Amino acid sequence: MAYVNPIGKGLTVGRIDEGVDFAGAGPLYAMANGVIKGVYDSGWPGGTYILLHMDDGKDVYYAENIAPSVKTGQRVKAGQQIGYARGSYPFIEVGWSTSREGSPVAQSHYKEGQQTAEGKDFAALLGTFGWHIPGAASSSTMGGSGGGTGGVQTTSAIGGLFSWPGDVLGFFKDAKTFVDALLWIVNPASWLRIGAFLVGTILILFAIYALLKVGSDEPLFSMPKVVPVPV
């Protein structure tokens, strides 16, 4: 089956892990004709998980910080928009899936920070659409065809130290990550969450202290035996 590029304009390559991560905001497309098997909260950062069962029998997942535009059971065509990457942290991730609730094929053996063979394979497929992803396999065992819009298409090295445009895009990607983190820090809502967490922790510790005191028949608070009285 001839696949189409699932990643729209506005996104940039992040890393390879279970699948391939992308940063930025932009549309996400169905990679082939198929049926949406699931749209649900995965528990991953950002939450939303879209599972597409393609007509060739293979499954692909779109996960994390996504606003879905499809429903479970809906039939879609190749190139049809199925969601939108919101653009704030975390990245979105796309990759090969299993039929078990959309879990990534590599989930059972993935370790944080590791590039999996499945992720490299999916990156190789994305390479046929013009995406340059460091660490991708030489070719995808799952097949695919070129065409569509993509990301970085060429890479050249200068003096063996500087890679264009990969290093330049990497710099701006890191800068965006820093800015996102800074915006999170200065956001009042973030401090409200931190404050609520600290208050909750204090209340839990006080409850434990109170239970220990009640069990020992001691008062929660001890008053001083001698109270100074001003003359």
Asked if pLDDT for residue 183 goes beyond 80, the answer is no
pLDDT at 115: 81
More confident residue, 210 or 128: 128
Contact of 167 with 173, CB cutoff 8 Å:
no
Please state, as a whole number, how many other Cβ atoms lie within 10 Å of the Cβ of residue 45.
11
Does the pLDDT of residue 200 top 80, yes or no? Answer: yes
State CA 57 to chain mean position distance: 25
Q: Hey, which of 31-35, 149-153, 157-161, 222-226 has the most confident mean pLDDT?
A: 31-35
| pLDDT of res. 72 | 92
Q: Which residues pair with 96 in a beta bridge?
A: 60
Residue 165 has pLDDT above 50, yes or no: no
Provide CB contacts within 8 A for 213, sequence distance 6+: 219, 220
pLDDT in tens, 51-78: 999 999 999 999 888 889 999 999 999 9
